[in-house]
Structure 1
Amino acid sequence: MKKNIFIYLLIIFSLILTSCSNKTNNQAMQKDAADKAFEESIDLKGINSGKKSEEEQGKKIIMNSVALANIAAKLDIKLAGVPTTRLGKMPERYKHIYQIGIAMNPNMEVVKTINPTILYSPDSLKDWLDEGLEKHKIPHKYVNLRSVDSLYSVTKELATEFKKLEKYNILKEEKEKFFIEYNKKISNKTKPKVLVLMGLPASYIVATKNSYVGNLIELAGAENIITSDKEFEQVNLEYILGKNPDYILRTAHAIPEVVNQMFEEEFKNNSAWQHFYAVKNNKVIDLNSKIFGMTASFDYTDALEDLEKIFYK
């Protein structure tokens, strides 16, 4: 018994020491690439050449996320502006609409030029956007897109505002039909224990059930080993080792090519990860960051089907 405890403490020490060392090295290696990608100059003048803004019932609407643009497309809402993106999939119908730059750091001069009636944005971007939106007096509203249910709440709100309830009701019926079939497939299955890592350039955090990815894990019938009232938590290696999840799922918040490299370096160079059941059994899965992101989207059906295959087949 004492021997087991001693081994356990050695592993904990190894986890903490190795992780701190590797994280410092990895952050140094990745920071330049991340900064370069984030600060990359976007030639909006060139991108917006020949593009236009459209009005919906006399209102100029900017959707400051791909997820919100997809909601607008589902409801057949005309837009005046959309974000510039390389990660998400912008609906084809908005390819001719003015772009305002990346969602976390939109070009406020371009936003002002559009002169929107309202700019909608996920509330997860509030800390990045508040100062600029207030300074330039841009009318705006933040919405919650942290779960599938909140996705439909926002969709209903927009459908009501822009008289598109008929289209919303169709979407709602499709959702209900999907979950009836999906829940049948996963019923009576053994719930796996899951750790979800959300990668940021040069670092990573743990996604709880209050994040969108965490919500997907729960809907797929699995157990998130991290219980918290927060959306994300810092990595607590001692706690994670004690829970020893069946699966470790990894996804990227932004710049996936940088984040994926960071994860590879971390799991390769930090020998502490080799103590985890999920690593020993090849159950470390890199999720498609286009559908496993920070905000809910109608791709949730694809995401849940992916999780069903991972957990139960």
Structure 2
Amino acid sequence: MNSARKTMFSVLAVLLVIVVAVVGFVSFSKSNQHQAKKPRIVATTVAVTQIAAKLDLPLVGVPKSENQIPNRYKNVATVGSPMAPNIEKIASLKPTVVYSVSVLKDQYSAAFKKQKFNAQYLNLDTVSDLKNVLTSMGKKYDRTKQANNQIKIINHTIKTVRARQTGQKPKVLILMGMPGAGYMIATNQSYVGDLVRLAGGQNVYTDSKQPYLAPANESLAAKNPDVILRLEHAMPKVVKPQFDQEFKTNAIWAQMAAVKDNRVYDLQQPDFNATANMHVKQALTKISNWLYPAK
């Protein structure tokens, strides 16, 4: 009987060792698989870093920019400016995906393809596009809850600014300044044009495809907007004086109701940019207040 018990205990002991070993191996394998699947994400624009921060995503590379990068990425490697990313630096980070924005795709897609990067270009042309990006990235990285929270904030802001709209829609002219190159006119197809639409304004320049048009004095003279928005797209210390000089020397501006009524507003980063970002709430609220000032 004692011999039988000893044999039974010996068998149980061996089985226990086997079970522990198998469990340990499975856990180790799952851990390795998790590490292998863990994304190494590089963001090449500030807007993408903002989206990543709201979705609580880790990044291994961020752009170098005068605009503030979310604080959680302050110690992350920089990969050059959004307009001129450092391809070699990105490659050294061994990214599983590199995110940029669709408006920059033509600029450096060839360089990304040459390095065989998994490059993804996010469409941030409108507020609706931004919500779609949040939804898709939320699903991809198991961040649906975070994505839905951000979409709720955006939708609530849209509802709030719509409730402020009364009477006739103000006529709005949107200008996008560029360092050393004067300015362009932003149509309804641009991001700021979309903000104006949501805030209840009527863009005086519309187009079926083009987000920006070249200015012409003859055309401008016929518009007479109620409000003028001047987007400082890049290098505001250069663009703002350019705008001021243009409005001072070109007599056409003094004839406009917006100038006469002091309803000319400068759109500055980080709340405003050429593409959508996570400052939608602040941007929409400001434009709404400019179009429909409290009485």
Alignment equivalent of 1:82, drawn from 62, 71, 77: 62
Could you tell me whether the CA contact under 8 Å between 2:217 and 2:252 is conserved in 1?
no
Q: Residues of 2 paired with 1:244 and 1:279: CA distance?
A: 10
SS of the counterpart of 2:100? strand
Contact 2:179 2:235 in 1 (8 A): yes
- Please, which of 170, 181, 188 is the counterpart of residue 192 of structure 1? 170
Q: TM-score, normalised by structure 2?
A: 0.83
Matches within 5 A, 1:157-168: 157-168=136-147
Matches within 5 A, 1:229-248: 229-248=209-228
Gaps of 5+ in 1: 1-54
Write the distance in 1 (CA, Å) between the matches of 2:95 and 2:163.
45
The answer to whether 1:151 aligns with 2:158 is: no
- Written as runs of structure 1 = structure 2, the 5 A alignment for 1:6-17 is none
Give me the whole-angstrom Cα distance separating, in 1, the residues matched to 2:239 and 2:220.
21
Amino acid at match of 2:217: L
Q: How big is the shift at 1:174? A: 2.6
Q: Distance in 2 between matches of 1:56 and 1:263?
A: 51
**1:99 alignment partner, SS class:** coil
In the alignment, is the contact (CA less than 8 A) between 1:56 and 1:79 conserved in 2? no
Query: Deviation above 3 Å: which 4+ runs of structure 1?
Result: none
**Any idea what the Cα deviations from partners look like across 1:184-215, whole Å, max 9, x if unmatched?**
122x2431101100011122101111111111
Distance in 1 between the 2:228 and 2:156 partners?
30
1:223 and 1:208 map into 2 onto residues whose CA distance is 10
Within a 5 Å distance, the mapping from 1:292-303 to structure 2 comes to: 292-303=272-283
CA contact (8 A) 2:41 2:98 kept: yes
Query: Measured at CA, do residues 73 and 242 of structure 1 come closer, stay the same or move farther in structure 2, by a change above 3 Å?
Result: same
Q: RCO higher in 1 or 2 (8 Å CA, sep ≥ 6)?
A: 1
SS of residue paired to 1:243: coil
| 1:208 counterpart = 2:182 | no
Query: How big is the alpha-carbon RMSD for the aligned residues of Structure 1 and Structure 2?
Result: 1.6
Q: CA deviation at 1:136?
A: 2.5
Deviations 1:159-184 (A, max 9, x none): 11111112222222233333333321
Shift of 1:273: 2.1
Q: Write the distance in 1 (CA, Å) between the matches of 2:148 and 2:287.
A: 27
CA contact (8 A) 1:56 1:78 kept: no
Q: Judge conservation of contact 2:154–2:280 (CA < 8 Å) in 1.
A: no
Q: 1:180 to 1:111 in 2, by over 3 A?
A: same
Matched, 1:141 2:120: yes
In 2, Cα distance between equivalents of 1:270 and 1:184: 37
Kept after mapping to 1: 8 A contact 2:158/2:284: no
Tell me the distance in 1 between the aligned counterparts of 2:59 and 2:36. Answer: 7
Report how far residue 57 of structure 1 moved. Answer: 4.8
Q: Secondary structure at the match of 1:271?
A: coil
Write the distance in 1 (CA, Å) between the matches of 2:113 and 2:46.
22
Alignment CA distance shift 1:274-1:177 (3 Å): closer
Hey, what's the Cα distance between the residues in 2 that align with 1:180 and 1:263? 33
CA distance in 1, matches of 2:121, 2:142: 20
Distance 1:250 1:129 in 2: 28
Between the aligned partners of 2:161 and 2:231, the Cα distance in structure 1 is 23
**Which residue of 2 is the match for residue 97 of structure 1?**
76
**TM (normalized to structure 1)?**
0.78
Residue 183 in structure 1 maps to residue 168 in structure 2: no
Q: Which residue of 2 aligns with 1:268?
A: 248
Where 2:169 maps in the other structure, the secondary structure is coil
CA distance change for structure 1 residues 173 and 286 in 2, over 3 Å: closer, same or farther?
closer
How many pairs align? 257
* Residue identity matched to 2:178: L
In structure 2, the CA distance between the partners of 1:135 and 1:309, relative to structure 1 (3 Å rule), is: same
SS at match of 2:47: helix
Contact 1:189 1:312 in 2 (8 A): no
CA distance in 1, matches of 2:138, 2:49: 13
AA in 2 matched with 1:248: I
Provide structure 2 residue ranges, at least 5 long, that are not aligned to the other structure: 1-34
Q: Deviations over 1:203-238 (max 9, x none)?
A: 210111111111111111000000112111111321
Structure 1 residue corresponding to 2:259, chosen from 279, 302, 305: 279
Q: 2: CA distance between counterparts of 1:254 and 1:137?
A: 30
Q: Which has the larger radius of gyration?
A: 2
1:221-271: per-residue Cα shift (whole Å, max 9, x none)?
000000112111111321221121111110121111111111111111222
Q: CA deviation at 1:56?
A: 9.8
